[in-house]
Amino acid sequence: MKVAIACDHAGFELKDYLKDKLNGRNVEVIDYGTNGPESVDYPDFGHKVCNDVENGTVDFGILICGTANGMAMTANKRAHIRCGLCWSPEIAALTKQHNNANVIAIPARFVSNEEGWKITDAYMQASFEGGRHQNRIDKIPCG
C-alpha cells in the first residue's frame, strides 16, 4: 500500500506520528510536508497529495490542518477527489463505506495523535459498500 500525506503548520506533529505508524505497517508513505511550525499555505501541500491520488500513484491521501476544513475544501475542488473530514474513527469508516473517499482530512487541533491514528486505521480497514451509495456518488460531480 502507498499513501501520500501532507499538512500545514498546525499538523506537522500529527503527520509525523501517522507516518511512523504507517511505516510500522509496511505502508510506503510519500511525505509532502510541511515539517515545522512556521506558517505555510495549506493548499500548496494539499494539492500535492491530490495530484498523486488523481494520478493513481498512491492508494489514498491524508491531509492534516488545524480544523481540516481548509484541506478538505482544497481537495474537494478537484474533479476526481472525494475528501472526507474525519474527526472520529466512526466518521472515517463511514466516509469510506458510503462515500468511497480517496482522501481523508484530519483536524490536528481537535484530535490527539492516538485518535488521529484510530481515524486513519478505521479508514484503512473499511471498504466501500457500493450499491445505493454508488448512485449518490455518481451525482456529486458538477458539469
State yes or no: is 80 an active-site residue. no
- Are the beta carbons of 27 and 85 closer than 8 angstroms? no
Residue 102 and residue 81 in contact, taking contact as beta carbons nearer than 8 Å: yes
Q: Of the listed 7, 65, 83, 86, which one is catalytic?
A: 65
Alpha-carbon separation of residue 43 from 28, 74, 78, 137 (angstroms): 23, 6, 12, 24
9 is annotated as an active-site residue: no
The answer to whether the CB of 32 falls within 8 A of the CB of 6 is yes
Asked whether the beta carbons of 65 and 85 are under 8 A apart, the reply is: no
The residues that are catalytic are 65, 98
